[in-house]
Amino acid sequence: MHASEDLVIESSTELRDQLDTVTDLARDLAGRFELAPLLERILGHAIALLGCESGSISLVNEASGMYTKKVDLGVGCHEGQTFSLDEGVTGEVVHSRGTVILDEYASVLRTALRARVG
C-alpha cells in the first residue's frame, strides 16, 4: 500500500467510528431515559466525537448569575455543586456567547481576572 491509500483507509475508519457514535447518540435520544444517565451518554459521545479527554454539562441560571454542574466525565470537578458565572469554563462560555478555546484550564483564571480588572 501507498501512503495515500493508508490515509484514505485511516480517514474512512475514523469517519465510520464517528458515524457509529452519532448513531448511538440518536438511539439514546430516541429512548426514554432519566435525565442524568442521558446527559452522561450525550457527554460521553461529545467527548468521543471531539477527541477530548474530559467534559461537563451544567445548567445555567443567568438571572441568578449561577450555574450547577450536572455531569462531569474525566475531570475532577464538583458535580452537583453550584458556582458563580464569574468563574470556570462555563462562566467563560456564557459571557462570550460562543466557543471558548483554551490551551490550558489555568487560562480561565487569567481571562476572568482580566475581565474583572479591565
- 60: exposed, middle or buried (Cβ count in 10 Å: 0-12, 13-18, 19+): middle
The answer, yes or no, to whether residue 98 has pLDDT greater than 60, is yes
Per the model's pLDDT, the better-predicted residue between 108 and 19 turns out to be: 19
Give the residue extent of every domain in the chain: 54-117
Whole-model pTM above 0.85? no
Per the model's pLDDT, the better-predicted residue between 63 and 14 turns out to be: 63
- Strand (E) positions, the chain? 55-61, 66-73, 82-84
What's the pLDDT at 82? 94
What's the pLDDT at 2? 57
d(CA 101, CA 10): 27
Average pLDDT of the residues of the chain: 79
